[in-house]
Amino acid sequence: MRAHSNTVLAAFVVLALLLGTLLIRYIHGPRVIGRAVSPGGVEMVILQKCNWSGEPFTTSFVYRKPGGGWRWFYFNHQDNFWGHAGVQMDTNQHRAIFYRNNAPAVTFDWEAEVYTLHRRQTTSTNGEPLPARWQP
């Protein structure tokens, strides 16, 4: 009976380590939580990376026009876990609306490169360039 208990305990420890490793790899990121591509090929991505501190996650919005480099906009450096961002494309207005908990979080006009951060009610243009080989 003792050998069976040891086997069960060993299996439980291995499973716990495996699940822990997968969880750490999942949240360590950066993780893509929302992605859209305009009809003209502009890529738009919301990313989240674990900070491993009292400020749990940093969330960012990045975009890239065809043939260009990635550019970055701030979202939040003290964010909570965000599992998935739904997106609605409005091709007539040239914009993508990314949602969090069924509420607009970010609107991006890919033609004018205008970023709207709804929680702060701010608008920015011309995101910060990222290094040439950077990829989400």
What does the pLDDT look like over 81-90, one tens digit per residue? 999 999 999 9
pTM across the whole model: 0.80
Containing 25, the helix (H) or strand (E) segment is: helix 2-28
CA dihedral 85, 86, 90, 91 (to 10 degrees): 80
The answer as to whether 102 is a domain residue is: yes
Q: Is 20 part of a structural domain of the chain?
A: no
pLDDT tens track for 5-28: 666 555 455 444 444 454 455 455
Residue 20's pLDDT is 44
Residue 15 counted as domain residue: no
Q: Please give the tally of structural domains in the chain.
A: 1
Residue at 7 is within a domain: no
CA distance 30 to 32: 7
On whether residue 121 sits in a domain, the answer given is yes
- Domain presence at residue 6: no
Please report whether residue 106 resides in a domain.
yes
Domain encompassing residue 71: 30-129
Query: Is 18 among the domain residues?
Result: no
